[in-house]
């Protein structure tokens, strides 16, 4: 299949109540390169100009940017431009049953995969639940092929939770999500990951974007796309398979992957510690344009400079 190219624009603006005297920030915004996705060009603009900024790869291989502002500032704007090539993941056959992919305690796993075991543990935002947050026992019938089981599981997550941006915030704990049975993509992913880990799977949290298509005959609106999140499951000998429970679909060429970690906290797009500043307001705008045809005129030259 042919590859698709996207231009992503992800703009975040903080407006502080009082001038912040200093801020130290960590961005996890730059999309990864890995089989199936190649990052062609990147620009990360920060205003006001940081006193210091640098980047490195974190323990999971995600690109991190540290920046520090030590002059009083009332606003902070961070804008990512990324041109990314995407090829759809190869859907090779997998004849494992789900039981064969559940990781027992001890050292049954082969050593080469052992670093992946990290993803079956509780993580800072996701303590292992001692009971299921939603009914899934009926899906895990003996001997069922693993991909089929996991697809059914994704559908169950999709059907069990209502998409409701008002229901939760970034820091809503999992048990509350389980109670409300509602939330956004982050909550869908967290709910699925916790249940999968409880069952002994290694599951991770993935942040990224999804290209949205305007209604037929309509223009695509500026800034109307959104950041997105989903989960991936490790299948021994096969690899990580990504599932998007919010949209009830396997992750494909329309998904752009930014970073993965154990939960949201590992890959929060922007976090910081602020001296002063008081309350703040955040504005986020995201555009995912297929390159070059959808890209507005003024954005075409973005990497020229």
Partner 1 sequence: MVAFPNETKQYAARVSGYDEAITARGDLLPAWRNFLPRVQGANEETRRAWSASIRRDLRDDGLTFTTSPDPTRAKGRENLDALPWVFSADEWARIEAGVAQRMRLLEAVSRDLLGPRKLVRDGMLPADLLFAHAGYLRACVNLPANLGAQLFFYAADLARGPDGRMWVLDDKTQAPSGAGYALENRTILGRVFPDLLGDLRVRRLAPFFRTFRDAMMQLYEGRRLEPRVVVLTPGPYSATYFEHAYLATYLGYTLVQGDDLVMRDGALWLKTLEGLQPVDILIRRLDAEFCDPLELRRDSYLGVPGLLGAMRNGRVACVNHPGSGVLENRGLMPFLPGLCRHLLGESPLLPSAATWWCGQPRECNHVLAHLRELVIKPIHRNSGEPTVYGWTCSEKELQALKARIQSRPMQYIGQEHIGFSTVPLLLDGRLEPRRSVLRAFACATPDGPSVMPGGLARSAADVDSLRVSVGEGGILKDVWVLGNQAESHRSLWHETEAPIDQTWFGGVFTSRSADHLFWVGRYAERIGRQARLARGILQTRATPIDDDDTTEVCLEQMANLMDVYCGREPEEVPPALSKRLRRAMQGTKKEPGCVLSNLQALLYAAYNVRDIWSQDTWRALTAIENTGERCCRELDSPFVLGEDLDEMVEKLYAFYGLNAGGMTRESGWHMLMLGRILEAGLGLCDLTAHLLLCDKSPDQMQALMEVALSQNENLITYRRHYRTTPRLHSVLDLMLSMEANPRSLAYLLSQAAEYLHQLPPPVHPGAFDDIVLTLKQLRNQTLQRGWQDRKVRSQLPELLFEARSILQQCAMVITSAYFTHTSTQALEAY
Contacts with partner 1, residue ranges (CB under 8 A)? 14, 21-22, 24-26, 51-52, 54, 56-60, 66, 68, 70, 105-107, 109, 111-112, 114-115, 117-118, 121, 266, 270-278, 280
Shortest gap between Cβ of 65 and partner 1 (angstroms)?
A: 11
- Which one, of 62, 35, 4, 27, lies nearest residue 255 by Cα? 4
Is the N-terminal amide bond of 235 cis, ω within 30° of 0?
A: no
3-state secondary structure of 265: helix
Shortest gap between Cβ of 271 and partner 1 (angstroms)?
A: 6
User: CA 30 to CA 270: how far, in whole Å?
Assistant: 11
Vertex 91: Cα angle to 85 and 93 (nearest 5): 160
Q: How many CA atoms lie within 13 A of 41 on its CB side?
A: 15
Q: Which is nearer to partner 1, 95 or 130 (CB)?
A: 130
Shortest gap between Cβ of 234 and partner 1 (angstroms)?
A: 12
Which residues have a Cβ under 8 Å from the Cβ of 292 and sit 6 or more positions away?
Answer: 5, 7, 300
Q: Which is nearer to partner 1, 118 or 151 (CB)?
A: 118
Which two tokens mark 54? 């640098």
User: CA 181 to CA 133: how far, in whole Å?
Assistant: 9
Shortest gap between Cβ of 99 and partner 1 (angstroms)?
A: 18
Provide the β-strand partners of residue 290: 6
Q: Which is nearer to partner 1, 6 or 260 (CB)?
A: 260
Give the chain's count of helices (H) and strands (E): 5, 14
User: CA 123 to CA 127: how far, in whole Å?
Assistant: 6
Shortest gap between Cβ of 268 and partner 1 (angstroms)?
A: 9
Shortest gap between Cβ of 71 and partner 1 (angstroms)?
A: 10
Q: Which is nearer to partner 1, 105 or 166 (CB)?
A: 105
Q: Which is nearer to partner 1, 65 or 244 (CB)?
A: 65
Q: Which is nearer to partner 1, 130 or 298 (CB)?
A: 130
CB 77 within 8 A of CB 47: yes
Shortest gap between Cβ of 107 and partner 1 (angstroms)?
A: 5
Q: CA 231 → CA 36, 59, 87, 101, 250, distances in Å?
A: 17, 18, 19, 16, 10
Q: Which is nearer to partner 1, 65 or 187 (CB)?
A: 65
Q: Which is nearer to partner 1, 111 or 215 (CB)?
A: 111
Shortest gap between Cβ of 159 and partner 1 (angstroms)?
A: 32
Is the N-terminal amide bond of 292 cis, ω within 30° of 0?
A: yes
């Amino acid at each position: 299949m042919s590859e698709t190219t996207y231009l992503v624009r992800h703009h975040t603006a903080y407006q502080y109540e009082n001038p912040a005297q200093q801020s130290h920030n960590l961005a996890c915004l730059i999309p990864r390169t890995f089989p199936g996705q190649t990052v062609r060009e990147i620009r990360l603009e920060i205003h006001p100009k940081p006193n210091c900024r640098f980047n490195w790869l974190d323990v999971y291989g995600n690109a991190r940017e540290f920046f520090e502002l030590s002059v009083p500032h009332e606003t902070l704007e961070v804008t990512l431009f990324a041109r990314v090539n995407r090829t759809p993941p190869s859907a090779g056959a997998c004849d494992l049953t789900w039981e064969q992919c559940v990781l027992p305690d001890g050292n049954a796993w082969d050593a080469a995969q052992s670093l992946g075991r990290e993803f079956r543990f509780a993580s800072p935002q996701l303590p292992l639940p001692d009971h299921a947050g939603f009914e899934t026992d009926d899906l895990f019938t003996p001997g069922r092929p693993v991909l089929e089981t996991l697809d059914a599981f994704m559908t169950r997550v999709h059907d069990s939770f209502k998409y409701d941006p008002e229901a939760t915030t970034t820091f809503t704990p999992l048990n509350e999500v389980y109670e409300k049975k509602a939330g956004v993509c982050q909550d869908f992913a967290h709910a699925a990951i916790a249940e999968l880990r409880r069952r002994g799977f290694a599951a991770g949290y993935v942040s990224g974007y999804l290209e949205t298509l305007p209604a037929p005959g309509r223009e695509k609106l500026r800034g109307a796309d959104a950041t997105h999140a989903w989960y991936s499951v490790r299948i021994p000998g096969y690899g990580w398979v990504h599932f998007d429970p919010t949209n009830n679909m396997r992750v494909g060429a329309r998904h752009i992957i930014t970073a993965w970690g154990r939960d949201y906290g590992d890959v929060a797009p922007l976090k910081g510690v602020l001296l002063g500043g008081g309350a703040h307001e955040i504005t986020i705008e995201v555009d995912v344009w297929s390159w070059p045809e959808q890209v507005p005129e003024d954005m075409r030259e973005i990497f020229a400079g």
